[in-house]
Each structure stands twice: as C-alpha cells, then as structure tokens.
Structure 1
Amino acid sequence: MKKANKSDFLLLLAAFFLLFILNAGIISYVQHQRMVREREQTAFIARGFSQTLNEELDNTFSLTDILKETIVSHDGKIVNFDRVAQDLIAKNTALGSLQLAPKGKVTHIYPLKGNESGLIDLLKDPDRGPVCRYGIKHHITTLQGPFKLAQGGSGMAVRSPIFLTENGKPTFWGFAIAIIKVPDIFKATAKTIGLSGYSYHLYSNTSPLTKKKVLVMKSGSQLDDPVSLSFSTSSNNDWRLLISPKNGWQYKRSHWVLIYVLLLDVLLVLLVLWMINRRISTRILEREATRDPLTQAYNRQGFDGYMQDYVLQHPNEKSTVIMLDVDDFKSVNDVFGHHVGDQVLVDLTKNLQQVFGEHAIVGRNGGDEFVVALPGLSMKQSEPLIEKMSKLKQTAIVDRKPIDFSISMGYSDFPGQAQNYAEACRFADAALYEVKIAGKNSYASYKSGLSQDKRHNQLGLGMRALAAGDPTPLLVVKVDGDEPIYVNKSLLDLFNCESSPNFYDYYGSSFANLIAPHDRDRVYTELKDFLAQAEDGERFKDDFSVLTTDARVIHVCSELKYSLNQRYGALIYMNFILN
C-alpha cells in the first residue's frame, strides 16, 4: 500500500513537473511572440515616420527648384530674387534664408541682415567645397549640416546646382540654396512621433561624403532598447532613426507571468481557456495578415492564397480575372493630398464589391492597383459587369466635397484564353496596358497576340502610368542584349506605330534599328563609351536622326539615363525631343 501511495505521489509530482515545463515553454513562446509583434509594429511606425521626413525634405528641395526655374527661365539672369525669396520664406517658417551663388560665389541672400557671413566662395571653402563639387558632378541636390546659425539654433544647407543649356550641353551656372532650421523643418515628423507615444533620436551624416552620423534632433534623454531604422534621402544622405515607447516596452512589464505559471499548474482550466483565446487570436491575426488595412480588400498574399485554394477545389471551372488601376492616381495625391487618395481607394473597393457582387474576390496589389476574380464566370459572362463598372461614375466624398476619378481595366479568363490563374493575370495586365496606351478610362479584354511579346510588362505594373501620361516619347532599353523592353504611346506616335507589338515587330530585337544608317555607327560608339564608365543615375545627351516606319528621317535630341534595376540589371532610359 505504501509502495502504491509512493508511486502515485511520484507520478503526481512528475505530472506537475511536466505541466510546469509545458507552461514555462508556452509562456516563453508567448512572451517572445509578443516582443516580436510589438517591435515589428514599432518598426512599421518608424518606416511611416521616415516617409514623412522624406516628404518634408522634398518640400524643402522644391523651394530651391523654384529658384532654379527662375534663373533658367531668365537665361541665367537674377530677376526679382528678393521678392521671390520673401514670398517663399513667408510660406515656410522653417526657412532661415534663401541664397543664390553664381559660379559658386554667394552674392544674393534674403534676408541679408544677420547673414552677411554667408557671402563666401563655396567652391573654395574647405568644408563646403567638396560637397558642392559632389553636387555639380552628379547633378544632384545636396544636404549639409547640421551647423550653428548666426541667429542662434541649428540649421542645414540645401544646395541645388543650376545648369543652363549652351550649344546643346549643360553648363554649370551656380547654386540655389536654402538654409533650413532644425528641428523646425521636421515639425510634422516630431509631432507625429510624440502623439504616437514614442521617444526618438534622429541621426544623419553631415554630407553625402561622410559616413559619421551626428544627432539632428531627439525627444527623451534615454531610449529603452530602441528599434533602429536606416534610410536614405534623394540627397544621398544616410539617416538613422532610433525609436522606443515613452513608457517602455509592454513585454518587459509582464511580471504577472510568474503568478500565471503557478496558478496554471493548479487550475488546469485556465490552460484550456488560454488555448481557446489563443486560437481566436490566431484567427484574427490570420485575417489581418491577408487583408489590406486601408480598404479591407485582400492583400496580394491573401488573394493569391484564396485563388490557389479555389483552383485546387474547382480545377475545371471557368473564372475571369480583372486587373485595374486608378487613372492618374499620382495626380490625385499631389493635388488633393494623400488622405484624398486613400479615400479614393476605399470608395473604389466599395464600388467593386457592389458591382461585381458578394461572390467576387477583390484584392489590392499595392498602390492604386487592384485585381478582381469572378469565380464561375467566363469572360463573356463577365463583360456586362465589367462594362457596368467602367460606366459607373467614380466619386470619392472627402469633407463633403465630391472628387471624381476614373479607372482602366483589362481582363482575361481561365481555363480558356489562359491555362492557369497566373497566366490569366499576365493576360489581364497586358490588356490593361493596351487600355493605358489607348488613352485610359476604359476597359479591354485580352486579345491573342498581346502577350506574345511580353517586353512591355517587364518593368512591372508601375510603368503603366507612363504609358499614356508622359507627353515625351520614352524608350527603355536593357543593356544586356541591347533589347528594347518598354515604349510609351508618345514614342509609338513618333515612329508611326499602332501598338507596342507593332513597334517591336518592325524594329526587331535591337534599338540600333531606330537610328538612321548615317548616324548609327557614331551613336553606337558614343553610347559604348558612355556605358563603359557610367554610374547609376548618370545622364548623357546626344543628337541623331531616327528612321520611322513610313521611311521618314527625323532629327531628335535624346537624353539618356543609366539606371541599375534590382530585378532587370542595367537599363537605359531614352527620351526623344524633336529639334
């Protein structure tokens, strides 16, 4: 009997020990997951703050662009500088001063009082000279600082090189300069971070030529195990944002976990309740992981996952896939603001769900690009709904004001035209591209032959916006293979081509066929020399004649930009301007 009792006791101890280990493991896992989620959320917020900071800097850079345009429009003459500078500073209290530096020498400052020490030769200055020459060489706006201002406080210098075209070549004129106050220029970022309940330290290198980072602004003296985010701006400055909650991390304050472990060993029911709660939380997280937070449509991952499951369950059932986007969406954001753009996307999602019905699967690929699947409907059966959606007046209501917009759609079906879902998406995207080429605000089904030459889509969905929106003829050539892979509508018109497949068929696999025979060897040699030493973003101008499909010889000026694409390697962007 004693033996049995002792065995029971040992068994009970073993059961409690195993339960303790199980609970400890579960709690350790939960704590780790909580830490990961909280820090990921903070990293997501930090990325949003970095975007706001970039926008504030771009707004400041646009001020020097206004000064540049004034100089260029007056052929290098300084006209009404004080009046223009006064108007700009009145609209932006974060500006310390605006300056002009012909040939690198600062001759004009507004306001001049208190800033007389800024009348210097920048190119000869030991601190400013190297940065100025870097901006001239690379044709980019530079940002230098922070440094102490004569009026007190700190500031940063935005210097934008100005080039005038003489005899077809860019000639350096000087600099348009904006002295910005720090941290005043970043007040939107600072306010947003503060209201979100976070402390931060913001660092930047003092110029594109240095790697050492200095503190630009901060809130809070110490940060608790901060999340670090590094990013770059258009001025080639490297920034680092350190951010942590003002009141500390929640996952570090969970001392109740120890009590929970002891109670859980005694009260097994709590474990059951926790498991039920965990399952519910997992379902919520799974939904959040597959939904776009703005529109509540499926995100790309959720949409693809749903369609894969559907195809497996209904392998022979026809379905229509529609690719669409908002026409000139960037203009909506630029003119009305991003909050209006967000409302456009929300209202468009509602319209898609209302027109296509509850069985339609609506997804947002990103930006203003959407994909809709109509399970069980062939392309012919779907056409009345697609036509209805195209004719529907698209309006977003913001602050009780209607904002009209339009959409373009391309569609295909599978199995039918396409063999599978992925191919149907490509076909629908090809049809959408043709709608953009034809003028937008319409819809089109896939026609056989559109995808036989897929080069127009190799740059991704983002290039569709250029298809009908850029008035300048544009060609993109892949350096490896010398192959044209993108052409916009303006270039089709220049070369008298009806469509992009027609353009590729006529000119073959080499852009050299565009060039008139008497210029071909010269241009090829010049381009070869340029590519041999070109860096990412570097530009090159050339004059030559092109040969159109109707045998016309047209003389053009072309600006070429060398660009390294992460997915497609080295590319050349070429525009064609008639002389």
Structure 2
Amino acid sequence: MKKKTLVPLIVFLLGICLVSFIVYKTDTHEREQRHITAQLNAATYGERIKNEITDGIEITNALGQILISENGEIHQFDTIAGNLMSDSIESVQLAPDGIVTDIYPTAGNKAGKIDLIHDKDRGKISCYARDNHTIITQGPFELKQGGYGIAVRNPVYLKDKNEQEYFWGFTIVILRVPDIFSDSIHALSDFGYEYRILKTETPWSDTYKVVYQSDGQIDHPVSYAFTIGDENWKFEVTPKSGWRNNILIVVTSGIFLAIILFLSILTRVWLVAKENKNKFQILAHTDSLTGIYNRYGFDGLAEKMISKNPQTHFVAALLDIDDFKFINDIYGHSYGDRALKSLADSMKAFFPSDALLGRNGGDEFGILLPNCTFKEVTEQMQQFTKLPKTFSYMGKGQQIYISLGYAEYPTFASSYSQLMHCADAALYEIKLHGKKWMYGLQGRASVRCP
C-alpha cells in the first residue's frame, strides 16, 4: 500500500482509538457525576419523605400524649382529630386494647372498627408493636374511598396505681399514598428522575415491598435507606434518560471524528503534495528522454558537490555525438532520440555509480567524476570512447561516434564554471582535430584555459 494511503489510514485508525478513549473517559466521568448527583438527590428527598411520614406519625404521638395526660380518656375526639387532619390523612383512629372504637371521619370508615390483635392480617404485626413498644406501619392497601393508604399504629402505655406500665391500646393514623410525600416525588420527577419507595413487609422480614413508584423504568438505581420504628425503608432513584448522557457522547464523538477525519484528509493532501513536489523536482532536474540529469539538474548538483568538497579532486567531461544532425536528417528525429538514449545507457553502464551524468541539451552530455585526477581517468575515457555505441534502425545496429574533452579541478580550475569551461575547450579541441579518442595533448591543453 502506498505511503500516501497507508499513513492517513494509520492516522485515522489511531484517531479512532483516541476518540474511543476520550468517549470512554467522558462517558465514565459523566456516569460518575450522574451517580453522585443521583445519590445526593436520593439522600435529600429520601430524608424529606421520611420527615413527611414522620409528620403523619406525630399525630399518633399527639393523641398518645393526650391519653397519658387524661389517664386513658379523650374527650371531644372528633374535634381534636379534625384539627389534626390534613389532605394527606385519610383517617385518625383509637384502638383501646387493640380494638378500633373511634374513627374520624366516621363516614365510610365504619368497617374499620375491628379487633387488630386477633385479626388474621393485622394481628401478628400489631402484637409485635405492642410487645416491642414500637411504631409499626402496614400497607400500602387499597382504600374503600379510592387510592391507597398506609396504616401507622403507635402503641400507648399507661401506669396503674402501682406505677406498673400496661398496654392501653393504639393510636392510629391512615396516611394517603402518595399524597403524604407528593411534594418530594413531584420535585424529584421535575428534576428528571424515576423513583421507587420500598419498605420491609414486616419488622422481622428482609423482604421489601413497593410502597409507591413512578411509571418509568428504574434501571440500576441508587438508594437511600432509613428506618421508621423497627422497619427499614428504601428510596431508589434513577435518571429518566439513563446513566449515560447519550447527547454528550454523540456530540463528543461527532466533533472528534470530524477532527480526525480532517487530519487524515489533511495528512493525505500533504503527502500527495509532497509526492507531487518530489516528482516535479525530479522532472525539473531530469531529462525525460534519457533518464539522467538535465542541464539544470546537472549544473546544480555538480556545483553543490564541489562547493561542499573544495579540496577534493574532480574531473569533468563533456561529450557529444559526431554528425548528430546527419543522423536526424537521414534516419529521422525519432531515431536521433534512440541514439541519444543509447549513449546515455552506455554512460550509465560504464561509469561508476558515484559519477554524475547529465544531458546538457541537444546531443551534448556531461560527466562529473569525484575523487580522481586527470591522469587517473585518461585510460577510462579512452576506453569509453572506443566502446562500440549503436542504435537500432530497421532491425540493424547503426554505429555512432562521440567526441569527448575533460578537465580537472582544482589543479587547473578554481571553480565549477571554470572547470566546465576548460572541459568545453578540450571538447572543442578534439572536434577541431577530428580525434575520437585522443585526449592527452588536447585534455592537458584544456585544463590550462583561463
């Protein structure tokens, strides 16, 4: 896979991993914050619900104090009970010896006059309250007037002449559900929570029974526990929208995915631009026909090599094809191009890999050999000149000849431009005398050119 595709893909995949990590951390943090907030709300409103139930229980305490002060008698019960009533109270009752005798209001509640101690549904828990001196709650149960209620029974104890405590009976209040804690649950619902109120079925049981709950689904709730008498209560809450903030997750994911996608595209654009830049640089410095450097590329690189290594010996050579115009005229320009390419291929095959090769234009070529002297390359230049060079025409190899002149730096030239000038003079000297491979006199003469 090409770099310009692979790198953006890697950037995108790494970005996806980073986005996943960020979303995970964001989701974890948000859930923790929602749990903390829900726990605080559960504790706050759970305590308020407990206080609201306790306010109803205070009615039984008030009646108990009157009974104690009046030695077990309550005069004008309906008046007192009427003053204690509220919208969340269904009825107020007295049960001396555990038998309900007085109920306010009377209308619709006459069936409530029962023997609590011996009743099959109420007897066991009523006896528990009597024997353990504790308030008990029972319910919720359906009220004949409609809705649901919870019975609160508070045992009352008096003292006889010998100061011995004895059980007088119960003061009772029937609390309407959910009216007794409606303020708390309405406020919690407005804050966006589902809720559930539970209590143990009996003081001696660990099984919880739902007293009241909202209509929505309650998933993995947090809870607040409290006690009333010997009974355990729990208040559970969970956000209506769930523990995850889906909107935040979607927005966070969308923003970071857009950023990652943008970075991936930007990376690909940068790599493509860089690749194109490299291609353009290569095209700008390379001769498209022969595949070696063009005049611009050869001059630039050769000058840079010499300027970086001013003490190093270099030999520069210039060569061209003899009678190249004749080849173009006789065989055509396409075959002239073949001759040029064949010569360039010969140069690439013959000279070492560190040699700089270039086509200066037309049929003129340049060679720069580093780390060598004039004398060291003389034989090599002669060998290259004698080397047969051909191009194919009509299935036959056509011979081509070259002229070549060369000069040395820094022995006889102090700069690249002077070096090339000397090599050009040497080439001119060769062509002037018609020598194809004799360099000695001409080459030495060229390096002394001013």
Q: Under a length normalisation based on structure 2, what TM-score does the superposition of the two structures give? A: 0.53
State how far apart, in whole Å, the 2-side matches of 1:95 and 1:210 are: 27
Larger radius of gyration: 2
State how far apart, in whole Å, the 1-side matches of 2:240 and 2:7 are: 49
2:50 is aligned to 54
* Residues 268 and 74 of structure 1, relative CA distance in 2, 3 Å threshold: farther
Give the SS at the match of 1:106. coil
2:438 is aligned to none
1:155 is aligned to 149
CA positional deviation for 1:249 = 4.9
1:40 is aligned to 36
State how far apart, in whole Å, the 2-side matches of 1:226 and 1:250 are: 12
State how far apart, in whole Å, the 1-side matches of 2:103 and 2:111 are: 10
State how far apart, in whole Å, the 2-side matches of 1:252 and 1:137 are: 54
1:28 is aligned to 24
Aligned with 2:250 (options 251, 255, 267): 255
- Output one character per residue of 1:230-288: Cα deviation in whole Å (capped at 9) or x when no partner: 4132223333334333455551343234423422324569xxxxxxxxxxxxxxxxxxx
Aligned with 1:265 (options 247, 255, 260): 260
Is the CA contact 2:42–2:224 (under 8 Å) kept in the aligned structure 1? Answer: no
1:165 is aligned to 159
- One-letter identity of the residue aligned with 1:113: A
Is the CA contact 1:230–1:238 (under 8 Å) kept in the aligned structure 2? Answer: no
CA positional deviation for 1:170 = 2.5
- The alignment status of 1:189 with 2:184, answered yes or no, reads yes
- The alignment status of 1:111 with 2:99, answered yes or no, reads no
Give the SS at the match of 1:33. helix
CA positional deviation for 1:45 = 0.9
1:316 is aligned to none
CA positional deviation for 1:73 = 0.2
CA positional deviation for 1:8 = 7.5
Q: Under a length normalisation based on structure 1, what TM-score does the superposition of the two structures give? A: 0.42
Aligned with 2:223 (options 229, 244, 249): 229
* Residues 268 and 49 of structure 1, relative CA distance in 2, 3 Å threshold: farther
- One-letter identity of the residue aligned with 1:215: V
CA positional deviation for 1:194 = 2.5
- One-letter identity of the residue aligned with 2:63: L
CA positional deviation for 1:62 = 0.6
State how far apart, in whole Å, the 1-side matches of 2:120 and 2:38 are: 41
1:123 is aligned to 117
Give the SS at the match of 1:127. coil
Give the SS at the match of 2:75. coil
Aligned with 2:14 (options 15, 18, 24): 18
CA positional deviation for 1:44 = 1.4
State how far apart, in whole Å, the 2-side matches of 1:246 and 1:195 are: 10
* Residues 30 and 180 of structure 1, relative CA distance in 2, 3 Å threshold: same
State how far apart, in whole Å, the 2-side matches of 1:60 and 1:234 are: 12
* Residues 246 and 11 of structure 1, relative CA distance in 2, 3 Å threshold: closer
State how far apart, in whole Å, the 1-side matches of 2:233 and 2:151 are: 16
Is the CA contact 2:23–2:253 (under 8 Å) kept in the aligned structure 1? Answer: no
1:527 is aligned to none
Give the SS at the match of 2:149. strand
- Output one character per residue of 1:87-113: Cα deviation in whole Å (capped at 9) or x when no partner: 111xx1211111111111111111222
- Output one character per residue of 1:425-473: Cα deviation in whole Å (capped at 9) or x when no partner: xxxxxxxxxxxxxxxxxxxxxxxxxxxxxxxxxxxxxxxxxxxxxxxxx
- The alignment status of 1:201 with 2:196, answered yes or no, reads yes
1:66 is aligned to 62
2:214 is aligned to 219
* Residues 144 and 76 of structure 1, relative CA distance in 2, 3 Å threshold: same
- One-letter identity of the residue aligned with 1:75: N
Q: Which has the higher contact order (CA 8 A, sep 6+)?
A: 2
- One-letter identity of the residue aligned with 1:125: D
Summarize the alignment of residues 116-515 of structure 1 with structure 2, pairs less than 5 Å apart. Answer: 116-166=110-160, 167-220=162-215, 222-223=216-217, 225-249=219-243, 251-253=245-247, 254-266=249-261
1:541 is aligned to none
Is the CA contact 1:228–1:240 (under 8 Å) kept in the aligned structure 2? Answer: no
Is the CA contact 1:86–1:110 (under 8 Å) kept in the aligned structure 2? Answer: yes
CA positional deviation for 1:175 = 0.7
State how far apart, in whole Å, the 2-side matches of 1:213 and 1:41 are: 25
Give the SS at the match of 1:152. coil
CA positional deviation for 1:10 = 4.8
Superposed CA RMSD:
2.5
State how far apart, in whole Å, the 2-side matches of 1:93 and 1:227 are: 30
CA positional deviation for 1:142 = 0.8
Moved >6 Å (runs of 4+): none
State how far apart, in whole Å, the 1-side matches of 2:33 and 2:234 are: 21
1:99 is aligned to 93
State how far apart, in whole Å, the 1-side matches of 2:14 and 2:250 are: 22
Unaligned runs of 5+ in 2: 265-450
CA positional deviation for 1:18 = 3.1
Is the CA contact 1:147–1:155 (under 8 Å) kept in the aligned structure 2? Answer: yes
- One-letter identity of the residue aligned with 2:37: Q
Is the CA contact 1:24–1:261 (under 8 Å) kept in the aligned structure 2? Answer: no
